[in-house]
Each structure stands twice: as structure tokens, then as C-alpha cells.
Structure 1
Amino acid sequence: MAPVENEIKASALELIGNTPIVALDRLHPGPGRILVKCEFMNPGASVKCRSSLHMLQEARKTGELKPGEPVLEVTSGNQGCGLAIVCAVLGHPLTLTMSQGNSKQRAVHMEALGAKCVRVPQVEGTYGNVTLADVMAAESEGLKIVEQTGAYYVNQFNNERNCESHYNTTGPEIWRQTGHHVDVFIATVGTAGTFMGTAKYLKEKNPNIKTYVVEPEGSQPIRGLPITKPLHLLQGSGYACIPNLFKFDYMDGTLSVTDEEAVEYKKLIGEKEGLYVGYTSGANVAAAVKLLKSGTIPEDSWVVTMLNDTGLKYS
């Protein structure tokens, strides 16, 4: 008798990726269609699980990170949660530095997974509103710890493997799950890893696919506008600078979203679609609706975007 197959996963690492795509036909019955990638279904409840796994696996392959060695990262929370899962399974002590302006739920989540979270006082932001200066303060504290301990610094903002993770997984999944029917891809930008990797893959498959970056209103450096509102609700994105990993080659345009629009669509995604997500997810969907109603793309377009994380990460 042939052995009976089972579907048991070897570890939490095998739960990362292959997230479903859902149509938001109740929230947006038309024109066109909005399709969302449910990244909150990753084990760390965000899209950052993908890059966390790839960056550490590749560092281990090259010998940059040896078994049992400590790891450090500067995070707004989601990358930290993803890294905490990977480090727990692979056996690496993990320290994370994060601005006190980022939601405390993220620190609770990271520490529940065995990581140490150092919450760094804000320089100019307020709780829930984190600026580039606040991120730089967290980075400065992180680099001190690297110098003291010799920990492997993941460095998500400058690590090309961040983009690779989405080129290898997110892009191919979207292409397969939509039956190769993608007209537009849009995404908020923090490190730019998700946008760059996914946009590059999709444009290689079909150069006619349009790609748009979503920026907070008043913090639109990719569009080339002066920064008038560095404080906004989109934690983990819109840091008022062009990320080092960002390349204009794969972008067709930018879209802006106000805090009020992000909050409105975060609420609508819950009430109309039964999905409780974070503020950047609300911003992505708000931008998709605006684009479809703008008349700048064909009205029957399928727009794919990301639900980056769960609403449970916010207070």
C-alpha cells in the first residue's frame, strides 16, 4: 500500500508566502476590479515575513550569518516580527530597535516571539506618527549595539535581498493567481522592497502593466514634491525620502492618499469585506479606487495591490 501523504508543515517558515488574492467587489463594484494580496495571513501578520526569511536564509548560505550568531535590525515593527519568527526557528538571538512612536502592539508581538525590542525615544514625531528623524535615532541605537555585540545587521533599507524576496515570490504568485491578468500594480513604499521586486517581475512578464507608488499626501519625495507633512498615519512607509532600494525604471506614476482617506478605507475594508487591516492597506485600496475613478486607466482594469498587515498591530 502506498504511504498516505500528509500536509504537515515542518515549521512556521513554511507558512510564509502563498497568501491568497481576494477581490474587493463589495467595497468597489466598479468600474474595474480591485484585487488584494492578503499579506496579513503570513505568520508574522505582515508582508515583511517574506523578506525576513529570504534575507536571513541568503546570509546563512553565504556565511555572513553563522549558526547561533546574534542578529540585529532597525524596524518599524513588521520587519521585526518577521525576523523574530525566522530567528526563533533557526536559533538566532534577535535584538530590534524601534521608535517609541511605532505601535506598542508590535513590540509586544516581537517579544512574544523571543526577540528583545529596544524602544528608542522619538526626536520629532508623536505616538503613531513616525518621521525619518525618528527612524534615524532608532538606527543610531541599533548600530551601537552592532558595534558592541558583533551582531549581524540585516539592514533592510539597503539590502537588495529585500527586493529579491518579492521578485522571487510575490510577483510570481500574483501573476499565477490572476491567471496572468494584471493591468495595474500599486503599493505603498517604505524600504521599497515590495514595490521594486514585484513591479520588476510583473513588467518582465508584461511591459504594458502599469505600476504606481502610493505616497502619503504631503510626503511625496518620489513624485518630486517638497515635504509639507512629514507626520502621517502610514507607519512603515512615506519616510519623506527616496529609499536607497528604489529605482524609477519600474514606476509609471505616483498616487497620493490623505490620512483621512487611509482611515476611511481601512474602515470600509473591515465593514464591507470582513478584513481587519492596517493603515497602509487602507491607503493602498484608497489609491486603487481613486485611480480607477480617475479615467487615466481603462475603466475595466484589474488593479492589484497589497493588504500589508493586520489591524491588530495598531492601537
Structure 2
Amino acid sequence: MAKTYGQTDIKESALDLIGNTPLVALDRIWSGPGRILAKCEFFNPGASVKDRSSLSMVQKALKSGKLKPGHPIVEVTSGNQGCGLALVAAVLGHPITLTMSAGNSPQRATMMRAMGANVVLAPQVEGTPGNVTLADVTEAENLGLKIVEETGAYYVDQFNNDNNCKAHEETTGPEIWRQTGGHIDAFLATVGTAGTFAGVSRYLKQQNKDILCVAVEPAGAEVIKGDAVTKPLHLLQGSGYGKVPRLFKFDTLDTTIGVTDEEAVEYKKLLAQREGLYLGYTSGANVAAAVKLLESGKLPKDAWVVTVLNDTGLKYPDN
């Protein structure tokens, strides 16, 4: 007699683990009025929000024919995009080379190499360990472009790839809308490539144009706000490069909020010690900005503010 089994729920690969992350209330950090809700992007298999865009950019490149099956991939990264691309490349069978500034967290390079990526570190030209500037990113980018020229590999080009934004317009934004039941008064996010902010804000504005969309910037590097850069060195790795990214769209921006290193560190610690969530500095900055927004009185007393917990704290040196 044949055995019968119950219904199964088995994912085919790590790629099926990307997205559909939980939304958690940070009621221990902010008890009201209003509420801070945070998208747990560290639940992705590469432990960051960048897994979504990594999958989107590679899949769409394969579909368009710009990337052939098994063909090598090259990308410049501050770490999280590289981790996401390394796991996508591992599952799909693409050799991958990732260039990164030596000033970015070494934990990220360790993770990328563990997944089979060739990681090439560019020397820092301006910043210090843990503080990476636009000049440092440009050095890593030039190194990546040289490798592309020499090898003919497919260049992902996250800073100029529209599929970076589309990943969030097609997944993150709809998930937030569904998870809140459409009850969302504001959305905040730090800006690196601008993929998360541009994609999510575009979707949310299509659902309700009155949702306040806020870009979070490092204090002293608030170029989206329109200020001159006075502090190019800051702790928010992967964001605030002192230049408005090409993917950023002002048509969905309502305002900006600046966050100091000290505020980012404070809320990084509060997330760990009050909410049990050990996260990175941009997550701390996002929550600090959410608190500032709720304290400003610009929103209704019962406002729900949604932000993003970008990545795990395990990708950073202990601080």
C-alpha cells in the first residue's frame, strides 16, 4: 500500500527565500503617539534588502539576453549588493567578481568569498576604515570597469540599473501596502543607489498620493536636501555618498531628514537592547529619522510610519 503524506512547503532554492519579509512594530522604542513599523529585510538569505535588487537585476538581464547562462558577472559594491549578487550567482551558476573599497566592513568580503565570489579590494583614497566616501566608491568602480573591459563580463551597474528600483516597486512596496492594510502615513529610507526609496515610494504614491515619503541622509552629507557636503565621512556605509544618485526621483520625495552618526549608533543600540534586533547603522538611522518625524508634529497622532531594517549587525565590526 502506497504511503500518503501531508501537504509540503519546500522552497526550490535560496532565491525563493528572497522577499516576503515580516513587518514588525517597534513599540518598545516608540510607545506613541503613532507607531513605527519596520520591514525586516535582514530576513533575506543574504541578510539585507539588496537581495531583492540582486535577484531582479540578474533575472531581467538573463531574460533580455544581456547576460547569458553561466556567463561571468562583475559588480562594484559596498558589501550588501555584493552579498546578494554572490548568492544569486551561486544558485544560478555564474562566476562573479566583486570590487569593493578596502574601507568597507571586512565581514562583508568574508561572506561574499564564502559564497564563491572573487572579491577584489580597492585601496582607500580618501576615507578611513568604516568611513567610505564617494572617492573611495569611484576607485572601486574604476577597478570593476577595468575588469569588465579585460574579461567581457556582464556589468550589473546597480547605480544606473532601473531594475534595481523595479525590484522594490514590484515586491517591497506591494508587501508593505498589504501588510499595513493600506494604513500608512509615511515611508522613510536611507539612500544609497536609491533603489529602495525610489521603488517603494513610487508604488506607495500610486496607491495614495498623500503618503509622506522621506529620504534619510547622513548629517553633513545632505545633498538630496540641497545642502553642501560638510561631512563626507560618516558611519552609514552604503548610503549618503555626497551625490544625488541617478536612480533617485524627486517626484516622489516630500522631505528629507538628517541623522548624525551619534543618533544612528544610539538607535542601533536601542534596536538591539529594547527590540532584540541586532542590525546595521543605516537601520539605526532609519529608526532615528522615524522618531524625529513622529516628534515633529507633522503627522496625525495615530500615524503609522514605515521604514526599513536594511541589514544585520553581523556585517559590521563590533562598535
Task: Give the TM-score, by structure 2 length.
Answer: 0.98
Deviations 1:13-42 (CA, angstroms, capped at 9, x unpaired): 000000000000011001210000000000
Q: What is the deviation of 1:297?
A: 1.7
1:260-311 Cα deviation digits (max 9, x unpaired): 0000000000000000000000000000001100112222210000000000
Aligned to 2:251: 249
- Structure 2 counterpart of 1:236, from 231, 235, 238: 238
CA distance in structure 1 between the partners assigned to 2:314 and 2:282 by the alignment: 13
Quote the offset at 1:3 in angstroms: 6.5
For residue 281 of structure 1, what is the aligned residue in structure 2? Answer: 283
**1:73 corresponds to 2:75:** yes
1:268 aligned partner, one-letter code: L
Equivalent residue pairs, number: 315
Question: Aligned partners of 1:205 and 1:103: how far apart in 2?
Answer: 37
CA distance in 2, matches of 1:29, 1:116: 46
- The answer for unaligned runs of 5 or more in structure 1 is none
C-alpha distance in 1, partners of 2:301/2:128?
40
Partner of 1:63: 65
Q: 2:263 aligned to 238, 261, 264, which one?
A: 261
SS at match of 2:307: strand
Letter in 2 for 1:256: G
Superposed CA deviations along residues 151-175 of structure 1, whole A, max 9, x for unmatched, are 0000000000000000000000000
Q: For residue 231 of structure 2, give the secondary structure of its aligned residue in structure 1.
A: coil
> 1:2: Cα distance to partner?
8.1
The residue type equivalent to 1:154 in the other structure is: V
Measure, in 1, the Cα distance between the counterparts of 2:148 and 2:33: 51
State the SS of the aligned residue for 2:71: coil
> TM-score by structure 1 length?
0.99
Give the aligned residue type for 1:109. M
Is 2:167 the partner of 1:161?
Answer: no
Following superposition of structure 1 onto structure 2, how do residues 182-193 of structure 1 map, counting pairs within 5 Å? 182-193=184-195
The residue type equivalent to 1:299 in the other structure is: K
Unaligned runs of 5+ in 2: none
Q: What is the one-letter code of the residue matched to 1:72?
A: V
Give the counterpart letter for 1:289 in structure 2: V
C-alpha distance after superposition, 1:65-93 (max 9, x if no partner): 00110000000000000000100000000
Shift of 1:186: 0.4
Which of these residues, 113, 116, 119, is aligned with residue 114 of structure 1?
A: 116
Q: Aligned pair 1:309/2:311, yes or no?
A: yes
